[in-house]
Amino acid sequence: MAKGFNKAPAMGGQGGMMQQLQKLQQQMEEAQARLAEETVSATAGGGAIKVVMTGDQKCKSVEISPDFLKDADAEMLQDMVLSAVNMALDQSRELQQKLMGPLAGGMPF
């Protein structure tokens, strides 16, 4: 039998890989916790509608100016809220990409 074919693979390289994976996992957990705390906000209708969302895309609040309600109909209000929510989601995704992208090797979320 040829020399070296029945030997078990060396474990030295795998230990370092495990440490790197554990470090990456810790960094990702820290980034996720930070995303849950950071907020972004978006407005629509000249500031009449304001949506605040976390970096992990949970809506924290929706504010509607009482003055806007005097002149707005239901359809206009729905459009403005939808617009503000979508803008807040976009900002939240950008924040998420900024914090998590380097850790995930640029993978989209």
Return the CATH number at 92.
3.30.1310.10
List pLDDT tens digits, range 47-101. Answer: 999 999 998 889 999 999 998 888 878 899 999 999 999 999 999 999 888 888 7
In a domain, 96, yes or no: yes
Q: Label residue 104 by pLDDT band (50, 70, 90).
A: low
In a domain, 85, yes or no: yes
In a domain, 13, yes or no: no
Domain count, the chain: 1
Stated pTM of the model? 0.69
In a domain, 46, yes or no: yes
* Better-scored residue on pLDDT, 26 or 52: 52
- pLDDT of residue 5 exceeding 70: no
* Better-scored residue on pLDDT, 102 or 42: 42
Compute the average pLDDT of residues 10-38. 79
Domain hosting 67: range is 42-100
Q: Rounded CA gap, 106 and 17, in Å?
A: 20
Q: Which long-range contacts (CB under 8 A, 24 or more apart) does 45-52 make?
A: 45/80, 45/84, 48/72, 48/80, 49/77, 49/80, 49/81, 49/83, 49/84, 50/84, 51/81, 51/84, 51/85, 51/87, 51/88, 52/88
Compute how many other C-beta atoms are within 10 angstroms of the C-beta atom of residue 48: 20
* pLDDT score for 17: 81
